[in-house]
Chains A and B, each alone.
Chain A
Amino acid sequence: MAKPTSLKLHTKQNIVGWAFVIPASILIFTFFFYPIGKAFLLSFQTGFGANAQYAGLVNYKRLLSDNTFKTSLVNVLTFLVLQVPVMLLLALALAYTLNDHKLKFRALFRTALFLPCATSLVSYSIVFRSLFALDGFMNALLLNLNVIQSPINWLANPWTAKLVIMLALTWRWTGYNMIFFLSALQNIDRSIFEAAIIDGANGFNRFFKITIPMLKPIILLTAIMSTNGTLQLFDETVNITNGGPTNATLSISQYIYRLSFQYSPRFPYAAAMSFVVFVLVGILSAMQMRVGDKR
């Protein structure tokens, strides 16, 4: 007698379980998987709506000869290569310095360093844009200190514009990455450090021989997160430099946005470009998962 009842109960629970997970699943399929499939199909067309035509690889071929696309790709890769390592090293050094129980004002330092994370990307971009304006605070400060003789037009010169974007990114995200390192450092057994001190290892050696190897998974994780973020850069370049001067800070996402929503809409071509971003991010996320598995 007991068996059929429990079986019925099990079936009932199974149905309830599916009822719990189905709404979210439908939403994810509708708003993530369907659009990415749609973008993929779109990327093989020319024209859209009633004029849509299958065009094979035309859009992808055009990408190869699109200099603006190349510029945006190079810009984003420049940010990636120059800014991400500096930021991660800085975040690591800050976390390492903060992870000291004898340190005074520890909570205060942590709060201050973490504070930039509370600002939205558009807000802090506008603050940086204002700080580095031609008649802005940075030039006033440097002129007063006699570091420079005439104001620097930060946002109008390709390299200084890139520099401002990278400074801004570093300001906003160093504390964010520091939090990861700090939480990982707190999980390292302190007796390892104590043993190293007894063995005569100095702070420098402890940092490079113990801390860095033990944090390797987190370092890789933050590196891959920063890479994904940089590949999808949008809010900062739009609001600090608007991609200029002459596309020197144009990001891929901003170019896609321009193609789709600012010029006469060229959705299929933009879709091909966005699919390239998807593949780039996909490769890096796959790496992230593999790193995650090894932990």
Chain B
Amino acid sequence: MTRYKIGTFLKYLFLTIAAFVSVFPLLWMFISATNSSIDVLGGRLLPGSHLVTNFQNLTARANIPQAMWNSFRNAAVSTIASLIVCSVAGYGFEIYHDRGKDLLMRILLLSMMIPFAAIMIPLFMMVGNFNLLSTTTAFVLPSVATGFLIFLFRQSARYFPYELIEASRLDGLSELGIFIRMYVPVMRSTYATAAIITFMAGWNSYLWPLIIMQNADSRTMPLVLSNLIAGYVTDYGLLMLAVSISVLPTIAIFLLLQKSFAEGIIASAR
């Protein structure tokens, strides 16, 4: 019995330490956002009264509303576009599958093996040639269609009852009508998962906007954050406030939709 108790104690101790380590840096970040740089460096762990000052200093140094809007617009457009394109394709590959389409699907899946670093130079040249530098279009184009999302929607179409499609055909619905009126409403959870993955990827994207967003007004939050650490003197209160602002939306999504979030992550590896 004592051995069992020690074991249980160690279990809780292990989990508590791990949970504390996981949460602490974020907690520290939020607390530091309300403190002056001197207090942050002094190791202060209590909320302070510098939130407003930090906010004023931050907005004087960087156009945060613009960067937030850029990040949001890019992520939202990319999410809507890829959900439409990839769900249509995934449905098509499954419902109308034949040899040719199966082969094409297998080829498309190979695209998932291509690391971004390997294609960023040609992509940058293409975007430059089309005069699309610093635009949402340039941000979105390479991520509208991904092998992974098409695969995700094809898998979900596999569980869609074929009888429903045939019944709808007899009722005179067009093929596109069947997709929109039958498939889309049933597959809401797949859409939610796909939306979370795509939105998060767009919101957090760093390397691609770093290359293409050359105009100051087009910079997204990660780029603005990264710029704030350049220079010799760092105002840690200001910096942590900026990071907190950029992290809040994704933490909110995470806490509200944890289940879809976890499903999205697991699905992303299959």
Contacts and interface: CB of A to CB of B under 8 A. Distances in A.
Contacts of B112: 285
A13 B262 CA distance: 36
Given A42-B122, A103-B11, A232-B117, A127 B251 contact: no
A109 B104 contact: no
A120 B204 contact: yes
Contacts of B97: 17
B42 interface: yes
Contacts of A286: 113
Given A183-B266, A274-B120, A112 B114 contact: no
Contacts of A176: 265
Contacts of A282: 113
A115 B204 contact: no
Interface string A217-239: 00001100100100110110011
Interface in B107-151: 108, 111-126, 141-142, 144-147, 150
B115 A119 contact: no
Given A25-B89, A126-B229, A135-B41, A256 B117 contact: yes
Interface residues of B, number: 90
Given A24-B145, A38-B122, A278-B114, A112 B22 contact: yes
Among A32, A103, A116: residue with most chain B CB under 10 A: A32
Nearest to A113: B22
Contact of B122 (A27, A34, A231, A277): A34
Contact of B117 (A122, A171, A277): A277
Interface in B19-44: 19-23, 25-26, 28-29, 32, 40-43
Interface string B53-87: 00000000000000000000000000000000110
Contacts of B207: 234-235, 253, 257
A257 B120 CA distance: 9
A250 interface: no
B211 interface: yes
Given A113-B18, A114-B258, A239 B226 contact: yes
Contacts of A180: 265-266, 269
Interface in A226-269: 228, 231-232, 234-235, 238-239, 252-253, 256-257, 260-261, 267
Contacts, number: 273
Interface in B205-238: 206-207, 210-211, 221-222, 225-226, 228-229, 234, 236
B96 A16 contact: yes
Nearest to A12: B175
A131 interface: yes
A277 B206 contact: no
A223 B255 CA distance: 27
Given A112-B19, A130-B236, A35 B229 contact: no
Given A112-B22, A130-B240, A122 B258 contact: no
B26 A127 contact: yes
A39 interface: yes
A231 B114 CA distance: 12
B173 interface: no
A270 interface: yes
Interface in A109-163: 109, 111-124, 126-131, 133, 135-137, 140-141, 144
- What 9 A-B pairs have minimum CB-CB distances, sorted nearest first? A17-B96, A20-B92, A24-B89, A120-B204, A118-B254, A27-B145, A140-B43, A35-B122, A35-B119
Interface of A: 13-14, 16-21, 23-25, 27-28, 31-36, 38-39, 42, 90, 93-94, 97-98, 100, 103, 108-109, 111-124, 126-131, 133, 135-137, 140-141, 144, 171, 174-176, 179-180, 183, 203, 221-222, 225, 228, 231-232, 234-235, 238-239, 252-253, 256-257, 260-261, 267, 270-271, 274-275, 277-278, 281-282, 285-286
